[in-house]
Structures are given as C-alpha cells and as structure tokens.
A and B are shown apart, each in its own frame.
Chain A
Amino acid sequence: QTVVTQEPSLTVSPGGTVTLTCASSTGAVTSGYYPNWFQQSPGQAPRALIYSLNNKHSWTPARFSGSLLGGKAALTLSGAQPEDEAEYYCLLWYGGTWVFGGGTKLTVL
C-alpha cells in the first residue's frame, strides 16, 4: 500500500511565503512521478494548479510554483493572499496508477 504524505496543516501570513511538501512511502520523489498539485476550497471541486512537477495551467496564479525539495515534491506559494486559504492536495503517478496525498490545510492569517 503506497502512502503519500503531506503536512496536515500550515499557516502563512498575508504576503508571506510557504512551502508545502509531498513525500512518497516508496522513496524519493522525482520528476518521473509527475507531481500534480490541487487547491480545494470548501464545497468546491478541486482546482488544478501544477502538473508534471513544475508546469502551470493557464489559470494558475504566478505566485504558485512547483519543485523538488529534499526528495519530496514541493508547492511554494509566494505572496500569500487571503483567497489562498484552502486545502491543497498533491498527486503522484506510479507508472499507471495515481495516489493522492492526504492534503494540507493552509491557513492565511
């Protein structure tokens, strides 16, 4: 059973920078896991932010970026806005199947 682990919760100040991470129980995350990141506000469907590690969708705000950090996938938010308060999920590809992380609740306070 593959497990993908994210921080349960993080807090960032308005205008601040925060990094969310995504770890795999199988070992270091690489670009070959094609990490995706999603944002979900209460009552809404998830919204895709990042795909294939560091690629942004056309609607993704510039303040979001994806990378690898210490063997994990990472989502960095630079210049946090109040509307960025939400749940964030990572998604990793295991050669044909996908596994979601448990989610990180991000508070902007």
Chain B
Amino acid sequence: QVQLQQWGAGLLKPSETLSLTCAVYGGSFSDYYCNWIRQPPGKGLEWIGEINHSGNSGSIKYNPSLKSRVTISVDTSKNQFSLKLTSVTAADTAVYYCARGDHISGLGHWGQGTLVTVSS
C-alpha cells in the first residue's frame, strides 16, 4: 500500500523560504514522478512542479508562474522529495500537497497536506 507522508514548517514570515518534505512508503519510488500541488484557503488546486527519481534537470518541470522561486529535489536513498519556495508572501499561504504519479499512471496517491501560513 502506497502512502505519502509530508512535513515542514507551518508558519513563515514574508520573504522567508518555504521548505517541505514528502516521504513515499510502499510501491516503487523509481517508477513514478513526484509532484507538489497547493491550494489557497477556499480556492482551487494549483500544480507547482514535478521530479522523477533521477533528479536530473531534464526530469524536473515547474509551473511557469512559480518557476523563478521554486526548487524541487529528490533523495532516492530515503524515498523522499522536497519543495523549496523562496521569498514567500501572503499569497503563498495555502495547503501544500505532495502526490505521486505521472501522465500515464495519474496522480493517484496524495499526502495528507500541510497548511503553510505566511504572516508577519
């Protein structure tokens, strides 16, 4: 059974860096992409980016609207992947989700979500 468990700081000040990690338990880590998605309070879902197990630059894709501030990385030795978002503002306040999958298999498995609040 595949499970994703995520963690990270939940309260940030403007201009700080958001940092979240997602661990994948069960299944094959190397066969799928790992994605980050966010949802501002009361709003819809926004795809942030994805990475595969190789972690090479060709395997990393970002939402163009966030690309300048986002870094996604992978640690295959721990079956974990991470998200960093720099220079956060109140507009980055959201529940952040990790999800495993790709365009062939779909984003079938999701983490529980982490609420990140940006406030001075």
With beta carbons under 8 angstroms apart, the residue of A51, A55, A57, A91 that contacts B47 is A91
Count the B residues whose beta carbon is within 8 Å of the partner chain — how many? 25
Q: Which 3 A-B pairs have the closest CB atoms?
A: A51-B106, A98-B47, A34-B103
Tell me whether B108 and A51 are in contact (CB under 8 A): yes
Residues of A in contact (CB 8 Å), total 24
* One of A18-26, A73-81, A99-107 contacting the partner: A99-107
Closest to B98 in A: A45
Please determine whether B107 and A48 come into contact, CB atoms closer than 8 angstroms: yes
* Chain B interface helix/strand/loop/mixed: strand
Chain B contacts for A100, CB-based, 8 A: 37, 44-47
Measured between alpha carbons, how far is A36 from B44 in the docked complex, in Å?
Answer: 15
Known: A45-B112, A91-B47, A100-B45. A57 touches B64 (CB 8 A): no
Q: Which of B37, B62, B97, B108 contacts A57 (CB 8 A)?
A: B108
A interface, CB within 8 angstroms of B: 1, 34, 36, 38, 45-48, 50-52, 55, 57, 89, 91, 93, 96-103
Please name the residue on chain B nearest to A2 by beta carbon.
B64
Question: A103: which of B35, B45, B108 is its contact (CB, 8 Å)?
Answer: B45
Contact (Cβ within 8 A) B113 A45: yes
Point out the residues of chain B lying under 8 angstroms from A51, CB to CB.
101, 105-108
Cβ of B25 to closest chain A Cβ, rounded Å: 16
Extra A-B contacts (6), CB below 8 Å, given A45-B112, A48-B101, A55-B106: A38-B107, A48-B108, A51-B107, A91-B45, A100-B46, A103-B44
Chain A residues closer than 8 Å to B103, beta-carbon distance:
34, 52, 93
Least CB separation from B113: chain A residue? A45
For A101, list chain B residues within 8 Å (CB): 44
Are B45 and A48 interface neighbours, CB within 8 A? no
A89-B45, A97-B61 known; A45+B111 contact, CB < 8 A? yes
- Cα distance A51–B100 when bound, in Å? 13
Q: How far is the CA of A45 from the CA of B111 in the complex (A)?
A: 8
User: Is B110 engaged at the interface, CB distance under 8 Å to the other chain?
Assistant: yes
B63 at the interface (CB under 8 A from A): yes
Q: Does B104 contact A (CB under 8 A)?
A: yes
Q: How far in angstroms is the closest Cβ of chain A from B75?
A: 23
